[in-house]
A and B are shown apart, each in its own frame.
Chain A
Amino acid sequence: MILLSAYCAVLLSFASGLLALMMHQRQNLSAISEYGFNTFFTRNVHCRGWLNKNLEERRFPVFLKQAVFVLLGLSGVFAVIAGLAVLLGKGVITDQIALGLPWLPWHIRFDGLSGFFFLIIGIAVCAVSLYGPGYVRTYKENEHPFAALGLFTGLFVTGMLLVLLADDAFMFMIAWELMSVASYFLVAFQHENPANRRAAFLYLLMAEVGALSIILGFGVLASFSDGFTFDALREANLSTTWASIAFVLALLGFGMKAGIVPVHVWLPEAHPVAPSHISALMSGVMLKVALYGLIRFCFDLLGDVQWQWGVVLLVLGTVSALGGILYALMQPNLKRLLAYSSVENIGIIFMVLGLSMIFMANGHPQLAALGFLAALFHAFNHALFKNLLFLGAGIIHHQTHELNIDMMGGLIKKMPQTSALFLVGCMSISSLPLFNGFVSEWLAFQTALQVDVLDNGVLRSLIPVAAAALALTAALAAACFVKVFGLIFLGQARSRNSEKAHEVRDKGMLAGPALLAGLCFFIGIFPGVIIHLINNVSSQLLGHTLPNDSALGWLWLAPVSAEQASYSPPLVLIGALIAAGICYWYLRRSPLTVMRRAETWDCGFGGLTPRMQYTSSSFTMPFRRIFAKTWIIDEQIKKDLQGAMDQDVVAVHYQLHIQDHSWPRLYQPIAQGVNNLARQVGRIQTGNIRTYLGYSFATLLLLLWVIS
């Protein structure tokens, strides 16, 4: 039954993709329906009238788009049901499907870990399918065909769900590739722009290199076992060296997809160019699938984790978290900023996962369970709020046709609902109390503070430093999202487009983000719901749960024990309401002190213009100066001079370009190396047939010599 709903989710998303292909088949469809009604369902007048009405030329595209998204949404609902059912049922379900090659059936396994990620995908897909119909309406059919968008969206979701169900390496890789390639087409959807094509190619390249690395990782495991099913791989008996090699390969492959520094470069290129609901899925969900892959590979297939791996994850995660947020801070493009912030959040997740590994390898499984809990919880939260923010960015783009936050401003009055939803997202991602982001960060701190149990002195001093880096990351994230919300929604409009913007009319486009914002708040107040679910995952995967004496009620959150640390969001909420209520009531009771509106104080000079406001680059100037070494900063100030002796400044031009260090340091050398190698190889390609015959002859001789 549970498996059935999981299959339903997969099939429905696949069906939604196929249905999108019907976009150009209106004539055929109406012919078929005519035929069908004439021969089989002759009495069904209502049904026929309804269908005919929707098959009219004007209505049909709208109807089809809605139908596609309804199917996608149903797929999301089934995914949520299946995920919840398997998490609550605590069971493991296995199955085989006779697909693929005859002697290689697809092995299916649906356990707590898959279920948890099913839940994440399901919620995200539900929100996206509420949002989608309104968003895709603006695409012109002849330039950006919906058939392509819908088909690849369906395939993309199918691929992600199948990755979670896979129980053998073949099926895993097929589903993985389906996910990667489908999302490539989605990134390249608006391909008329060369920059988009370049971004999509970069994405495909890195996805394939990553896939190659994952295949090699599976290969290492498989060479020590008989077969490619995960059951066989679990039995594999590896030496520590080989296990570490497999771990590094998997880390490279999954890390590339997840966007760990320094293999993150595709994220800020690919996410801004995809349609917003797709970037929401890619950033919110696909990165989590990569995380799933890593967890499955390390904790489940490899089994014996080494503490050195944990240190690698911890260091990489810290670097990614800090690097991601520092780069995000500097971006004026909203979607690029959000993409970099995904790098940061993935970094945090990797950090905590590394802690979990360290505790696991040092024989503290309960603390490992705590770290695991914090990592999965943060993954869940990140999926919620990053989806929310990307969908919000989509609304803003839709209404103002801008992505540059220096061109926005004052939208809080024009788009009140969007701004409220976006504010919830910003507060969650800045990990403020009462919202979900805070709870997972709190758990991460609690994990890091348990370091006293370790024997290794280096680890004991390394981990608190990582915790301080996490604190810096959180504070920088708050600064970053103050900038985002403040510049987009507050102040005065900085361009005509944002001055003329108005609230989005489509209810669905608000309903999708509203669902996510509601969940962000609900989980922030009652985190116990999700923690309970993750506990079931860790009991299955690690064999341990949180300590028994940790009071895990709906009211209290005490991950280790009540004496060590506790946090009660509902009580905090009540306290906040009481405090705010009292001062609100007390201060407003006198009618003499009714608020009066007046002009803004302009120091008596008059004429405040929007250009006087702080912009993105001026807001982040102190950071740019303090952390100057982090970026390659190219700042140019050019003055146009005029008059005698060039004394009058007519205009000042300011240009600021901020570049990632990883390009010149890592990628350009690699690209150059490949080019040089190709040139070397090119030397033997003379284009002369006699030389080629000579090569063949030499090869033949060599082979004969080898055989004899």
Chain B
Amino acid sequence: MNWLIAILQTSLFVVLAPLLAGWLKMCKCHLQNRKAPSLLQPYRDLLKLTHKQPVVSEQASWLFIAAPYLIFSATVLAASVVPLIAVNLPTSASADVIVMVGFFAFARFFLALAGLDIGTAFGGMGSSREMTISSLAEPAMLMAIFTLTMTASTTNLSGAIAHVLNEGLILRPSFVFALFALILVAIAETGRIPVDNPATHLELTMIHEAMILEYSGRHLALIEWASQLKLMLYGVLIANIFFPWGISETFGAKDLGYGLLAILGKLALLAIFLAIAETLVAKMRLFRVQEYLSFAYLLGLLGMLSHIILEASR
């Protein structure tokens, strides 16, 4: 039964991810005085891509073809770890938050290799930049997450969320710092403005798009879906760790329904904030990203220190 709900939750994750992307695009369009595409447009795009014949470069090796499947399944696994509508599911025990970061690293490793596989300058550029940014983002992210895990004294995400739920609403300075650090990291890791622009194909500024330039058809669909999934995953992490209220602690149908409604509401709200931020802020130069990410790291560190100095129970 528990396993069934866990599988259900993961599939829900996978199914809802394009919806979030569509909603985000809609918000952005409204803010920028453009006519918005339908909310379901990302689904149509994915469906269209899966029905197309993929064209693969003659240079490409098996790794290029295998990479989308690996990237997608690693991202799905990461999603299975994160509690979406209910805590205490068995999948979240099979891997903790450090393993989740590991899954991201796994997906990124193959994405960067796929970028290098076709042997064009674009691919190499994208891979190099992606690895640079992620290697700066990873410590910042872990710092923010360690603050949380040390407060809850567990690295199990579902356990940590349950801990925050049970404690009730306590304003902790460390959590505020960690929240901001995680938001900054999430923006960098999901390739949003101001770090990367998902809508650009201008070679000087591309990061994520440069790596996947050669992909088409179902391969592209998988990679796009994986990056939508990643966006949603970070959104859920922020929403459920710092504002866990509404998430279901039992497996009754009613509770689960409320849990679903709660997370949908939280994500919709977060997406609006993201859309506003993306509309207000301009993309920054690549070599400003390090300052941005070291600021995120600093916030994470401050969170950790304020936990140790102010909050620890001695």
A→B interface (CB under 8 Å): 409-410, 412-413, 423, 427, 430-434, 438, 442, 445-446, 449, 451-452, 455, 457, 460-461, 464-465, 467-469, 471-472, 474-476, 478-479, 482-483, 485-487, 489-492, 562-568, 571-572, 575-576, 579-580, 583-584, 587-588, 590, 592-602, 608, 610, 612-614, 618-623, 625-626
Q: Which residues of B contact A427 (CB under 8 A)?
A: 109
In the complex, how many angstroms separate the beta carbon of A521 from the nearest chain B beta carbon? 14
Residue of A nearest to B96 (CB): A565
Q: Which residues of B contact A601 (CB under 8 A)?
A: 57, 120, 213-214
Do A593 and B135 contact each other (CB < 8 Å), given the known contacts A413-B61, A563-B159?
no
Whole-angstrom CA separation of A394 from B61 in the bound complex = 23
Contact B124 A619 (CB under 8 A): yes
Complex A-B: 18 CB contacts under 8 Å: A445-B155, A446-B155, A452-B153, A457-B308, A457-B309, A460-B308, A461-B309, A464-B146, A464-B304, A475-B135, A475-B139, A479-B135, A490-B119, A568-B95, A575-B80, A580-B69, A598-B55, A623-B135
Contact B57 A482 (CB under 8 A): no
Contact A583 B132 (CB under 8 A): no
Contact A468 B136 (CB under 8 A): no
Contact B128 A621 (CB under 8 A): yes
Q: Which residues of A contact B57 (CB under 8 A)?
A: 597-601
Whole-angstrom CA separation of A409 from B117 in the bound complex = 9
Contact B132 A614 (CB under 8 A): no
In the complex, how many angstroms separate the beta carbon of B297 from the nearest chain A beta carbon? 7
Contact A490 B113 (CB under 8 A): yes
Contact B102 A431 (CB under 8 A): yes
Residue of A nearest to B305 (CB): A461
**B205, CB-defined interface residue at 8 Å:** no
Q: Which residues of B contact A409 (CB under 8 A)?
A: 119
Contact B127 A587 (CB under 8 A): no
Contact A597 B58 (CB under 8 A): yes
Q: Which residues of B contact A625 (CB under 8 A)?
A: 287
Which of the residues B59, B94, B135, B149 comes within 8 Å of A568, measured between beta carbons? B94
**How many residues belonging to B are interface residues under a CB distance threshold of 8 Å?**
86
Q: Which residues of A contact B143 (CB under 8 A)?
A: 464, 468, 471
Contact A482 B54 (CB under 8 A): no
B→A interface (CB under 8 Å): 50-59, 61-63, 65, 69-70, 72-74, 76-77, 80, 91, 93-96, 98-99, 102-103, 105-106, 108-109, 112-113, 115-121, 123-125, 127-129, 131-132, 134-139, 142-143, 146, 149-150, 153-156, 159, 213-214, 217-218, 221-222, 286-287, 290, 297, 300-301, 304-305, 308-309, 312, 314
Contact B136 A442 (CB under 8 A): no
In the complex, how many angstroms separate the beta carbon of A520 from the nearest chain B beta carbon? 15
Do A595 and B53 contact each other (CB < 8 Å), given the known contacts A461-B308, A572-B94, A614-B128?
yes
Q: Which residues of B contact A602 (CB under 8 A)?
A: 120
Whole-angstrom CA separation of A626 from B135 in the bound complex = 12
Which of the residues A465, A476, A482 comes within 8 Å of B109, measured between beta carbons? A482
In the complex, how many angstroms separate the beta carbon of B287 from the nearest chain A beta carbon? 6
Q: Which residues of A contact B77 (CB under 8 A)?
A: 572, 575-576, 579
Q: Which residues of A contact B76 (CB under 8 A)?
A: 575, 579
Contact A478 B108 (CB under 8 A): yes
Q: Which residues of A contact B222 (CB under 8 A)?
A: 583, 587
Do A442 and B99 contact each other (CB < 8 Å), given the known contacts A478-B108, A479-B135, A612-B121?
yes
Contact B99 A579 (CB under 8 A): no
Whole-angstrom CA separation of A478 from B139 in the bound complex = 13
Contact A491 B94 (CB under 8 A): no
Q: Other than the known A491-B124, A593-B52, what 13 A-B pairs have Cβ atoms closer than 8 Å? A: A452-B312, A468-B300, A475-B134, A475-B139, A482-B109, A482-B112, A564-B155, A566-B156, A592-B53, A594-B53, A595-B53, A596-B55, A614-B128
In the complex, how many angstroms separate the beta carbon of A111 from the nearest chain B beta carbon? 33
Whole-angstrom CA separation of A464 from B305 in the bound complex = 9
Contact B56 A597 (CB under 8 A): yes
Whole-angstrom CA separation of A452 from B135 in the bound complex = 27
Contact B73 A412 (CB under 8 A): no
In the complex, how many angstroms separate the beta carbon of B136 from the nearest chain A beta carbon? 7
In the complex, how many angstroms separate the beta carbon of B219 from the nearest chain A beta carbon? 9
Contact A491 B117 (CB under 8 A): yes
Contact B146 A572 (CB under 8 A): no
Q: Which residues of B contact A489 (CB under 8 A)?
A: 61
Contact A433 B99 (CB under 8 A): yes
Do A433 and B103 contact each other (CB < 8 Å), given the known contacts A460-B312, A468-B142, A593-B217?
yes
Whole-angstrom CA separation of A479 from B124 in the bound complex = 12
Do A583 and B156 contact each other (CB < 8 Å), given the known contacts A472-B139, A600-B58?
no
Contact B118 A600 (CB under 8 A): yes
Whole-angstrom CA separation of A597 from B55 in the bound complex = 6
Contact A567 B116 (CB under 8 A): no
In the complex, how many angstroms separate the beta carbon of B209 from the nearest chain A beta carbon? 13
Contact B96 A566 (CB under 8 A): yes
9 closest A-B pairs by beta carbon, nearest first, are A614-B124, A491-B119, A486-B116, A475-B135, A579-B73, A479-B131, A622-B132, A475-B138, A580-B73
Contact B61 A472 (CB under 8 A): no
Contact A451 B150 (CB under 8 A): yes
Contact A479 B132 (CB under 8 A): yes
Contact B61 A490 (CB under 8 A): yes
Which of the residues A449, A469, A563, A594 comes within 8 Å of B149, measured between beta carbons? A449
In the complex, how many angstroms separate the beta carbon of B257 from the nearest chain A beta carbon? 26
Q: Which residues of A contact B134 (CB under 8 A)?
A: 475, 478-479
Q: Which residues of A contact B115 (CB under 8 A)?
A: 486
Contact A596 B119 (CB under 8 A): no
Which of the residues A563, A565, A614 comes within 8 Å of B125, measured between beta carbons? A614
